[in-house]
Homo-oligomer: A and B are copies of this chain.
Amino acid sequence: MNASPQIEERARGGWGWLWRRLGGRSEAALAGPVERCVATAELLLAESSDGQAVHIATALSDMLAALSADEMALFLQRLASAFGPDHARLQAAVNDYLNQPDGASAAWIGAAAQMRAVELLRRLNMTPGATALIVALRAEMLRLGRSEAAVALLAEETRQLLSSWFNRGFLRAEKLDWQSPAAVLESIIRFESVHAIDDWDSLRRRLDGNRRCFAFFHPAMPGVPLIFIEVALTDGMSDRVGPILDGDDRNVPLDAPTHAMFYSINNCHRGLAGISLGDLLIKQVVLDLRTEFPSLKSFATLSPIPGFRTWLTEECRIGRVSDLPEALLDAPDLLHDGGAAGPLRDPLTLLCARYLSGRTANGGSATVSDPVGRFHLSNGARLERINWCADPSPKGVRESFGLMVNYRYVLDTIDANHRAFVGDGRVAISSGVAALLDPPSVSRRIARTSAWIKTAPRPTSRTTTPPASSRHCP
């Protein structure tokens, strides 16, 4: 039904009408594509007819889509600098407010303080397909915003606009499976960054049998997942990712799974950073799965620990973990070295528990810095269990010595956990993790291992190292 107005325009002879509106100048007379976009943006803001605004928005949308990366950066800088609030108007509104500080004058201030760029984006969205473009523009704003404060401000204001548009009430949760359109599944392959999907066969293993995949969609971006989560239905809390990815247990009958393991969650659009999606998707999926499988008793993640090695390296450097020789940090291959690495298990697990629970060596408390950890803890999950040799892939070893962690979502405690974490920084932990945090025990075991490390024969050759792509521990 929604034939693009642009077809209409083109049918009437291209964009002549637009150049005429732009002061009678021909396309060529305008300085260049960025200049044309800026002029068209001004026109769009000034247009009083909604019907006409749709046409101009369509033209601007097409022009923006045709910009090169450099031109786009230039355009966004112009947007940030020249489409701020109207300061004269704002100043007047402020004076009004100071004279009579009531609701009406406050509302007037609010309107005057708004960036013109935000209104521009709202109007740009009048043309079908513009929502995806605006999300892409914000991704670029975020990139540029790292070095340019004005663009960072624009990115933040755009976040608020998108946050209103990507409100939970407008999102649709959908189950993805082998009956889903190939175009959607291709996005899953493309955006899976936690545990890469090699090909369509691997993808299929994550969609059927006792695997599930759910995504949020927005009606203005049909066929484009916003965020997706992958789940394995099992009969116990998974402690290693290999069997999940290989689908070893895929044919286990689905009569009565007891555990739903969330093993991967991925955002598909950098432009939606800072907009709450993951928390909401997890909770929707918990509801959906509970309805489909009443036998489910436990919802937990099997999560990576992306910041562990970096943190540990730094802890060693500044002397907080004095006993652990740096040798360890240089010798990840030990982890692959069968029995030889065994002695490392205890100290690394203990240190990891400290890292993830925000405890210091002397039992004090610190901020949890692991991004995945912060996400699940602020969602109200509990730090449940740390798993040795759970992800022996090169990435897993590089990031966290192959360790992974289970966060568990217990419905009755989600709310309290969330508030304890967000309010006081307190991390909910299981008794198992609590046992790892007993200070003497930690120090003792680390000391023991250090001694071993110093005397242990280093592997003389890397030929014993298993293939880097191995997903299984020796």
Contact = CB atoms under 8 A, between A and B. Distances in A.
Interface of A: 1-3, 5, 7-8, 12, 17, 21, 48-52, 54, 80, 84-85, 87, 90-91, 94, 97-98, 101, 103-104, 106-107, 109-110, 113-115, 122, 125-131, 149-150, 153, 156-157, 161, 164-165, 167-170, 172-175, 178-183, 185-186, 199-200, 204, 214, 219-220, 223, 276, 279-280, 282-284, 287-288, 290-291, 378-380, 411-412, 414-415, 418-419, 422
Contacts of A104: 149, 153
Given A130-B169, A178-B182, A418 B49 contact: yes
A166 to B, nearest CB: 11
B48 A419 contact: yes
A170 B50 contact: no
Contact of A179 (B87, B164, B182): B182
B287 A8 contact: yes
Given A48-B419, A87-B101, A125-B167, 18 more contacts: A2-B173, A3-B288, A7-B287, A8-B287, A8-B290, A12-B412, A85-B107, A109-B109, A110-B114, A122-B164, A126-B169, A127-B168, A164-B164, A170-B220, A172-B219, A179-B182, A181-B181, A186-B200
A85 B113 contact: no
A200 B203 CA distance: 12
A282 B276 CA distance: 36
B170 A219 contact: yes
A62 to B, nearest CB: 14
A29 B419 CA distance: 25
B130 A106 contact: no
Contacts of A114: 110
A3 B286 CA distance: 10
A12 B411 contact: yes
Nearest to A126: B168
B50 A168 contact: yes
A53 to B, nearest CB: 8
A85 B110 contact: yes
A126 B153 CA distance: 26
For chain A, what secondary structure do more than half of its interface residues adopt (helix, strand, loop), or is it mixed?
A: helix
A332 to B, nearest CB: 34
A60 to B, nearest CB: 13
B165 A164 contact: yes
B178 A180 contact: no
B84 A109 contact: no
Given A49-B279, A164-B165, A178 B183 contact: yes
A32 B161 CA distance: 36
Contact of A17 (B21, B85, B220, B415): B415
Contacts of A98: 94
Interface centre among A129, A172, A181, A288 (most CB of B within 10 A): A181
A175 B1 CA distance: 8
Contact of A103 (B52, B150, B165): B150
A429 to B, nearest CB: 19
Contact of A156 (B3, B107, B168): B107
Given A109-B113, A170-B219, A418-B49, A280 B2 contact: no
18 contacts: A1-B172, A1-B214, A2-B173, A3-B291, A12-B411, A49-B378, A51-B279, A54-B280, A90-B109, A91-B101, A122-B167, A165-B165, A170-B220, A178-B181, A178-B186, A179-B182, A180-B181, A180-B182
Nearest to A275: B50
Contacts of A87: 101, 106
Interface centre among A110, A280, A291 (most CB of B within 10 A): A110
B168 A54 contact: yes
Nearest to A50: B276
Nearest to A53: B168
Nearest to A168: B126
The 9 A-B residue pairs with the shortest CB-CB distance, nearest first, are A219-B219, A110-B113, A126-B168, A125-B169, A50-B276, A109-B113, A51-B283, A85-B106, A49-B418
